Structure 1
Amino acid sequence: MTLTDTISLVNVIKTTDADGYDTTTETLTTVKCDSGNGVTRSEFYEAMKAGIKLTAVFEMWACDYGGQSLIEHNGTRYKVERAYPLTDGGIQLNCSEVVR
């Protein structure tokens, strides 16, 4: 794991305002990552069977990841479909692109 790139972890906080309306606030936390690993063929096709189109894989230190379900990389937002622990203290995030 070389950690030569960065991603932003999206923390979504849902609250209710004074008038009773639900509001959502997002904060971004930038962390180092390795974005050079692509989705493997077997992972891609297994995900497709479940109706998920994996488009990116990111590796980072597990201690930096707080279970966020959304991340941003180079202006593109991704949904974390699977977080897989690695043996070296890292974590691999298999992601699909979020269409806005």
Structure 2
Amino acid sequence: MLRQVLLCLVAFTALATCQRGTEEVLKWQQVTYDVPESVAAKTDGYIPINNIPMSGVHYKNRVFVTVPRRRWGIPSTLNVIDLAPPFPMQNPVLKPYPNF
């Protein structure tokens, strides 16, 4: 009985989530960083194709974005974006957190 109730609850939650939709706030064509020119100019300091944001967490008026260092050319793993309208933001610059 408990299993059936739990299954119904999960199904209802999934349907409710799908109906609401998702609001797009941040979007990238290419990830860019607010880092010193000396880092960006190095051959292995910044390689655009290797930078793939994997997760983001909204806290107060900022979004923290992680970019795992699985390859060369990723200057910072933990980054922050200050949120300010207008939305959606396209190609926001990632600022290394807490600093570079």
Same structural fold, with TM-score higher than 0.5 when normalized by the shorter chain:
no
Higher RCO (C-alpha under 8 Å, 6+ residues apart): 2
TM-score, normalization by structure 1: 0.31
By percentage of residues, which structure has more strand? 1
By percentage of residues, which structure has more helix? 2
TM-score, normalization by structure 2: 0.31
